[in-house]
């Protein structure tokens, strides 16, 4: 598995480079230059800034319509393919979605290019796994390795890439899966460094030493990020709902979204792209506070418009931009109030990136490691850890949202399991009408089977302790064999190995598992395994009704 993870890491890096070069090539074809989208926007006349995103949105929407017409039984989302699927990612749909994202990104959409990069890396891993006929479990792990390779290649952060996949996609850090993911990340990073055109996404300045009481300001920054991140996610969700309510065809929806972004870029070209160049500028050059605030507000609006219109792309990098801008503004306020007593604003911007990312993704460990890998400074560790952890818990206490649907689904499943454990069988016990003593005659047994359409009759001793069952199959066989039944009693037919029982304190989930093992309509309820006094019976229909009532009530609350 480690060998295949290395192969996938290499292919994931190549897929990332291919998508990046396609962006540069199309940029040069459209505008005669490549690189920073902000610089590209500034070089264009106002009418081109307005028209290019709209045309790009129209093309991207048309490609998405084409992709949706292709029937596919598998999900194109690599996260769902790993977490709840079989690792099989459809090729044509994934390629078309990546092509749609390329059209949005190249035309100045306010969205990240890293989403399709990771998708292509995961697709390469899925193809390798299918070519080698991997089992579904190993294929899922290989796709996770491809995703880690894509993230590492995009951000130059192999440790954070590995932890992103294990913390968000896989949901748990287990060495059997973490080892191959790390190998894929390392190989991808080595590949990117050896090939031409490599440079870090963010050029981090040296982080200043933080001493004394200043560490408390980074805690306050974490609180601010934890409060702001859920509002940012709500804005993205609101934008999607607003565009959906327009009922416009998807190409027109993306065209309108591009037109609005283009309109904003006439006055603020910094809204184009994923925000790399603006963040690097904040980290290395002084900005006026009102300029930072204006860029932040308009960039958030442009990102919500682009994603809300239905564009395919990532919001990971725009999230880093928002965190950097919030941190920079916070640092400027502190620097104005306490000059000489606090670090420069860029230090708060660096920590703000991690704090906002931790709050938005519900993955604080990944956020800490990503900023640390970008800075390679131990000075940043303490304020970064405090801010990220505080931001995570503040965001979770507000609504527990995450910008990744798979995390929301996993949290919902965990809450469902907790609710299932909260319902006990004592609430569902019914009288057990089909009960006979060990001394019951054959006639009594036959009469009870004729009266009740059941497969089993419960048998108890004189102290009402459950002893086993008499099966209808055994009674029928005895009659067909025309055996002498006059002297037969229940004790002669009892199946003492029939030990599928339910206790009053058993959870709903455990009882459902007992029914899966038993494949019957009802199960006897005993006081405990040590004291098997028969209390009644639980019916499968009652159990399922309780489960669906709980599910419906949860859906109504949600």
pLDDT level of residue 323 (50, 70, 90 thresholds): very high
**Average pLDDT for residues 468-490, to the nearest whole number?**
82
| Nearest Cα to Cα of residue 445 among 414, 416, 479 | 479
Q: Give the Cα separation of 525 and 501 in Å (integer).
A: 6
**Average pLDDT for residues 483-508, to the nearest whole number?**
77
pLDDT level of residue 497 (50, 70, 90 thresholds): low
Q: Give the Cα separation of 365 and 473 in Å (integer).
A: 59
pLDDT level of residue 558 (50, 70, 90 thresholds): very low
Give the largest Cα separation in the chain, rounded: 104
Q: Give the Cα separation of 548 and 540 in Å (integer).
A: 12
Q: Above 90 in pLDDT, residue 138?
A: no
Q: Give the Cα separation of 256 and 258 in Å (integer).
A: 5
% of residues, the chain, pLDDT over 70: 87
Q: Is 87:142 a contact under the CB 8 Å cutoff?
A: yes
Query: Does 496 or 479 have the greater pLDDT score?
Result: 479
pLDDT level of residue 556 (50, 70, 90 thresholds): very low
> For residue 555, what pLDDT is reported?
46
What is the fold, at CATH topology level, of the domain defined by 425-556?
Answer: CBS-domain (3.10.580)
Question: Tell me: the pLDDT tens digits for 249-259?
Answer: 989 999 999 99
Ordered by start, the domain boundaries in the chain are: 1-416, 425-556
> For residue 163, what pLDDT is reported?
85
The pTM of the whole model exceeds 0.75:
no
pLDDT level of residue 231 (50, 70, 90 thresholds): very high
Q: Give the Cα separation of 360 and 395 in Å (integer).
A: 8
Question: Tell me: the pLDDT tens digits for 111-128?
Answer: 888 888 888 998 899 899
Which has the minimum average pLDDT: 117-121, 210-214, 283-287? Answer: 210-214
Q: Give the Cα separation of 495 and 418 in Å (integer).
A: 35
DSSP-assigned states of every residue in 243-255: HHHTT--HHHHHH
**Average pLDDT for residues 361-384, to the nearest whole number?**
88
% of residues, the chain, pLDDT over 90: 31
Q: Above 90 in pLDDT, residue 38?
A: no
Q: Above 60 in pLDDT, residue 347?
A: yes
Sign, CA dihedral 243-245-246-248, equals positive
Q: Above 90 in pLDDT, residue 54?
A: yes
Query: Does 460 or 166 have the greater pLDDT score?
Result: 460
| Strand arrangement, sheet containing 435-437 | 435-437, 456-460, 466-471
Give bridge partners of residue 435 from the DSSP assignment. Answer: 458
Phi, psi of 24 (to 5 degrees): -60, -40
Q: What is the DSSP letter of 434?
A: S
Summary mean pLDDT of the chain: 84
**Average pLDDT for residues 11-28, to the nearest whole number?**
90
Phi, psi of 434 (to 5 degrees): -95, 70
Query: Does 315 or 415 have the greater pLDDT score?
Result: 315
Q: Give the Cα separation of 186 and 196 in Å (integer).
A: 18
Q: Is 343 helix (H, G, I), strand (E, B) or coil?
A: coil
**Average pLDDT for residues 281-292, to the nearest whole number?**
91
pLDDT level of residue 557 (50, 70, 90 thresholds): very low
Rg (CA), the chain: 31
Query: Does 513 or 50 have the greater pLDDT score?
Result: 50
What is the fold, at CATH topology level, of the domain defined by 1-416?
Answer: Clc chloride channel (1.10.3080)
């Amino acid at each position: 598995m480690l060998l295949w993870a290395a192969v996938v890491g290499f292919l994931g890096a190549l897929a990332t480079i291919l998508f990046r070069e396609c962006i540069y090539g199309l940029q040069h074809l459209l505008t005669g230059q490549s690189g920073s989208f902000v610089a590209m926007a500034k070089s264009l006349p106002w009418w081109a800034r307005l028209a290019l995103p709209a045309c790009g949105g129209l093309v991207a929407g048309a490609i998405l319509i084409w992709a949706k017409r292709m029937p596919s039984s598998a999900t194109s989302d690599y996260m769902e393919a790993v977490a709840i699927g079989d690792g099989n990612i459809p090729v044509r749909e994934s390629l078309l979605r990546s092509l749609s994202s390329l059209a949005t990104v190249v035309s100045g959409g306010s969205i990240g290019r890293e989403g399709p990069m990771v998708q292509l890396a995961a697709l390469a891993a899925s193809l390798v796994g299918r070519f080698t006929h991997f089992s579904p479990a190993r294929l899922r792990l290989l796709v996770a390795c491809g995703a880690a390779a894509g993230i590492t290649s995009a951000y130059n952060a192999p440790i954070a890439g590995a932890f992103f996949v294990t913390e968000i996609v896989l949901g748990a850090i287990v060495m059997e899966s973490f080892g191959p993911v790390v190998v894929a990340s390392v190989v991808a990073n080595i590949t990117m460094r050896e090939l031409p055109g490599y440079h870090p996404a963010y050029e981090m300045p040296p982080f200043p030493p933080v001493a004394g009481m200043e560490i408390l300001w980074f805690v306050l920054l974490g609180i601010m990020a934890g409060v702001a991140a859920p509002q940012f996610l709500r804005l993205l969700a609101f934008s999607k709902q607003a565009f959906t309510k327009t009922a416009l065809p998807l190409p027109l929806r993306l065209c309108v979204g591009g037109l609005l972004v283009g309109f904003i870029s006439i006055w603020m070209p910094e809204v184009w792209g994923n925000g790399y160049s603006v963040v690097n500028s904040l980290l290395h050059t002084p900005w006026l506070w009102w300029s930072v605030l204006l860029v932040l507000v308009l960039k958030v609006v442009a990102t919500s418009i682009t994603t809300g219109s239905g564009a395919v792309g990532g919001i990971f990098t725009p999230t880093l931009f928002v965190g950097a801008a919030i941190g920079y503004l916070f640092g400027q306020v502190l620097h104005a109030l306490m000059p000489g007593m606090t670090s420069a604003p860029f230090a708060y911007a660096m920590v703000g990136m991690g704090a906002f990312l931790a709050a938005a993704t519900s993955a604080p460990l990944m956020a800490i490691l990503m900023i640390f890998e970008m800075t390679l400074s131990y000075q940043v560790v303490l304020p970064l850890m405090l801010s990220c952890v505080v931001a995570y818990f503040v965001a979770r206490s507000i609504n527990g949202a995450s910008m990744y649907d798979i995390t929301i689904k996993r949290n919902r499943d965990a809450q469902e399991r907790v609710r299932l454990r909260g319902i006990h069988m004592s609430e569902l016990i019914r009288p057990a009408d089909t009960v006979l003593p060990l001394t019951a005659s054959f006639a009594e047994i036959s009469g009870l089977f004729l009266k009740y359409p059941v497969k089993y009759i419960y048998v108890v001793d004189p102290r009402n302790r459950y002893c086993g069952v008499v099966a209808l199959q055994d009674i029928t066989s005895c009659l067909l064999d025309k055996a002498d039944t006059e002297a037969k009693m229940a004790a002669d037919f009892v199946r003492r190995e029939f030990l599928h029982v339910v206790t009053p304190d058993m959870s709903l989930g455990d009882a459902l598992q007992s029914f899966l093992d038993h494949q019957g309509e009802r199960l006897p309820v005993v006081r405990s395994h040590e004291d098997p006094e028969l209390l009644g019976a639980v019916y499968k229909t009652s159990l399922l009704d309780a489960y669906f009532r709980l599910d419906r009530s949860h859906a109504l609350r949600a």
